[in-house]
Amino acid sequence: MHYKFSKFAKNIIVICLLLSALALAVGIYNGYRVKSTSEQIHQVMTEEKVNREMAIMILTDRQVDLFLGDEFYVFFGMIAALAALVFLTLFARTYNYVFGLSAGLFCLLSTFVGGLLIFYLLFSKKMGNALAADQLSGQRVKDDWETWVQNRSKSTKQ
């Protein structure tokens, strides 16, 4: 975790990491169910020598629990949760605003609450200390030496 984050920001990032990891675990389990359902359908297709629709009907007549219809959402959720984990890790290590926005977007897609928390963190003034916020905006507090050199160079030009 980057040292410029406040304690509140660190807590939010950890919560979002846990939520995204949980969403990825659920996605992996659902991916396993999609794969096992596909294997069951393929097995009935080769045994009975029928097409896919007939194999599904045979399996439903046998009262087999099939996981059908949500394949796209399962894989989309897995990719979104994995991307959220990657961008949250990059955001936590680099304190980069672009990584934070990307993490917020992918957290919003994978875990809605996590995305709202990250966007709240980004757009509130609670992300880090004041010096870090000034450095992000391009304005930095000058020390005495820099102030003296800058004032001296201004006075010599006039």
Assigned domain for 98 exists: yes
d(CA 149, CA 144): 9
Assigned domain for 141 exists: no
Tell me, what's the pLDDT at 141?
A: 62
Tell me, what's the pLDDT at 68?
A: 85
Tell me, what's the pLDDT at 146?
A: 76
Assigned domain for 81 exists: yes
Tell me, what's the pLDDT at 83?
A: 95
Tell me, what's the pLDDT at 140?
A: 59
Question: What total number of domains does the chain contain?
Answer: 1
Nearest to 112 by CA among 123, 104, 121, 102: 104
Mean pLDDT by 10 residues, the chain (158 residues): 79 92 94 92 90 89 85 92 94 88 92 90 75 53 75 70
Assigned domain for 22 exists: yes
Residues 133, 5 contacting (CB under 8 angstroms): no
CB-CB neighbours of 60 under 10 Å: 12
139 burial (CB, 10 Å; 0-12 / 13-18 / 19+) is: exposed
DSSP symbol at 125: S
Assigned domain for 142 exists: no
Assigned domain for 55 exists: yes
124-152 pLDDT, tens digit per residue, is: 877 775 445 455 555 556 678 777 877 87
d(CA 156, CA 149): 11
Assigned domain for 2 exists: no
Tell me, what's the pLDDT at 63?
A: 86
Assigned domain for 58 exists: yes
For 69, the domain range is 7-127
Tell me, what's the pLDDT at 131?
A: 45
DSSP symbol at 142: -
Nearest to 8 by CA among 125, 111, 96, 100: 125
